[in-house]
Amino acid sequence: MGRVRAYIGLGANVGNTVDTLTAAVPALAALPRVRLVAVSRLYATVPVGVTDQPEFRNAAVVLDVPGGPDPVTGALALLIVLKGLERAFGRRDGPRWGPRALDLDLLVFGRHAIRAERPLEASSSDRARSGDTDWAGAQWLAVPHASAHERLFVLAPLADLAPGLRPPGWGESVATARKRAELREGPAAVRPIAEWDQATRAWEPQDPAAVVPDGSTGASSDKRTT
């Protein structure tokens, strides 16, 4: 059984979101046979889909995880664990695109393109709407994550961690996809607000003066690596 590098998206907009996301990082690191590799900056992001709700806080992490006997089995095992953590942090059934206590999305699982039916314990907690084909699709695991390629709130933290990564099926790097999404959504849609501090194991508020026009900072990558 080999190891796979997995990229996980984190998001929340209910309760003390920063505390929730900060606590989620060591919870992910404590999973059996999982190693936390790196943590992105923390972003304030405007809601997508359902806009009449509070801003989200979003980030991403890199994990080295067990690959399983095959990629589908390994990815589904990780997904089950992620959904269990969401529930432990208070996530409940709700409308698609609605408020979230904690979202943990499997964005990329090594170099594998996966589509598999979710087992019951990893099914989506979003409530179906009449005729909602997107919800029906959410009952399948798609890796790379189906909407990651188009969503700036996913691409910005992912670009912090692996700008040159070319996920299966994308045909372009994460950095290129991020730039395209920013042109479409505008730079105000996703704003970096804090950097992960290795010593304190928490996001520390970012100096706005250190942010250059493309949203990046001059900080070295070791600030994000644990």
Active site residues: 91, 100, 103, 105
Instruction: Select from 146, 185, 160 the least CA-distant residue to 48.
Output: 185
Neighbours of 29 (CB within 10 A): 16
8 Å CB contact between 136 and 128? yes
Residues 6+ apart with CB under 8 A from 177: 149, 155, 170
Residues with Cβ < 8 Å from 47, sequence gap 6 or more?
13, 53, 54, 55, 56, 97
Alpha-carbon Rg for the chain, nearest whole angstrom, is 16
